[in-house]
Amino acid sequence: MRFLSGPRRGVGERLLWSRDIRFVRRLAARVEGGRLVELDTGTILIGPADALTDDLVVEVAGDVTVPEYGLVPVDDELTERDRYLVAMSSAVQLSGLAERIGMAQSSQIVQTKMLDYFFSLRKVHRVAFQPIVDIRTGELYEYECLFRPEMPMLPQSITSVVQAAISTDRGVELDSYIVTTVLERIGRLEAVARASGKPPRRFAINLTPFSLLDPSFEAPALGAQVRAAGLDPRQITIECTEQQSVPEIGVLQRQVRALRKFGFGFAVDDAGAGYASFALIAALRPSVIKIDREIVHGIGHDDAKQALVEAFVSFGRRIGAHLLAEGIERRADLRVLASLSVELGQGYLLGRPAPEPAAPRRIDRSWLEAATGARSAGESASGPAATAAARVPSRA
């Protein structure tokens, strides 16, 4: 198919698709350097991104109703053969007319294409670091590594990417890529920190439980990968969410026990959100239980949420796990969480995600201590931050 051949216009192109050929021709007359292609299914206009805009579409339409159209950026990271075909497909889907012209795609096909695009941008995606804090002392416990997909052509959240990988049986492939990328990033940061005499830090990395059943994530293999990045397994917490059923819970238990023997921490995410059940937590006996942000938000004024967190705290004590509240944004919520003996916290109030690990935000603790009662020196010394410090290897 040669309908898109012609001189390359460089970075910063957009592609518009519409079935209204007269309207697209009027647009083309306003776009210097635009290329017009007429197909049986509709008409395509390709032009510079700063010229071919939604504002221009509305201006050309004038008082007439704007026809259905799709306008998308052309991704020059793709091969020249593929970039316009991918853009055309996206524009048709965006127009809302895909099903009418026989170009509707099954959700699995769409997810597969999205993942292919995700993996084609291996050098583009980012990692952010958000501090996890010991609520009782305000000290850093560890950083959660948040993977940020950068997909200019098809913006997606990491949640959407994970769901697509699970639906298309590519979860292990995705987790392997993310873990490799994150470990390389941490390894570079820790090498710089060691060179300046700073102590080693701890980091949490997200995985789906199903991936832990794969041989590539067995404790010896993962331990070797961590050491190859210049890190120690005791610096890494594996954080899992029950986003798919795990038929071999016994195998998963053995994998988790082996990882913990190697020195890895283990956390279960989204407790109380319908994913991480009490049964899964009891079976895996994590070192950290993360309370879902939906429970945390507004807990300062919600008796039912407070009762649920009290149950988690009691449960955590019985199995020897620290409780971590996610999504803390309000002082009132932090105050109540501390009074309920939740030990760890994470959220914008305590520190936002950043391209490099940053110190937690300092909070005036006088009002917190007045509400919860001063902690004894012995209790503070035995808290989760002290436990984490004991587990992190010395580089001296």
Q: How much of the chain is in helix, strand and coil states, percent to nearest 5? A: 45, 15, 40
Residue 109 lies in a domain: no
Residue 19 lies in a domain: yes
56 and 168 co-located in one domain:
no
Q: What span, in angstroms and rounded, lies between the C-alpha atoms of 225 and 88?
A: 41
Q: Which tokens is 192 given?
A: 């710089």
Q: What span, in angstroms and rounded, lies between the C-alpha atoms of 381 and 389?
A: 11
**CATH number, domain with residue 181:** 3.20.20.450
What's the distance, CA 362 to chain centroid? 25
Which of 34, 39, 29, 33 shows the shortest CA–CA distance to 2? 39
Residue showing tokens 């492939």: 173
How many domains does the chain divide into?
Answer: 2
What are the CB-based long-range contacts (under 8 Å, 24+) for 369-372?
371/335, 371/338, 371/339, 372/335, 372/338, 372/339
* pLDDT score at 160: 81
Q: How many CB atoms lie within 10 A of CB 201?
A: 20
131 and 97 co-located in one domain:
no
Q: What is the pLDDT of residues 241-262, one digit of tens each?
A: 766 566 678 888 999 999 999 9
* pLDDT score at 56: 94
Please give the residue that has the higher pLDDT: either 130 or 382.
Answer: 130
Q: What is the pLDDT of residues 81-135, one digit of tens each?
A: 567 877 888 888 888 877 665 655 555 666 787 888 888 888 889 999 999 999 9
Q: How many CB atoms lie within 10 A of CB 285?
A: 15
CB 156 within 8 A of CB 114: yes
157 and 179 co-located in one domain:
yes
62 and 129 co-located in one domain:
no
Domain boundary, last residue among 65, 81, 104: 104
Domain span at residue 126?
A: 118-391
* pLDDT score at 209: 83
| CA distances (Å), origin 146, targets 29, 111, 216 | 45, 21, 21
Residue 5 lies in a domain: no
* pLDDT score at 376: 40
Residue 8 lies in a domain: no
183 and 266 co-located in one domain:
yes
Q: What is the pLDDT of residues 175-218, one digit of tens each?
A: 999 999 999 999 999 999 999 999 999 999 999 888 888 988 99
* pLDDT score at 296: 95
Give the least confident one: 123-137, 225-239, 278-292.
Answer: 278-292
**CATH number, domain with residue 33:** 3.30.70
Domain boundary, last residue among 74, 104, 134: 104
203 and 340 co-located in one domain:
yes
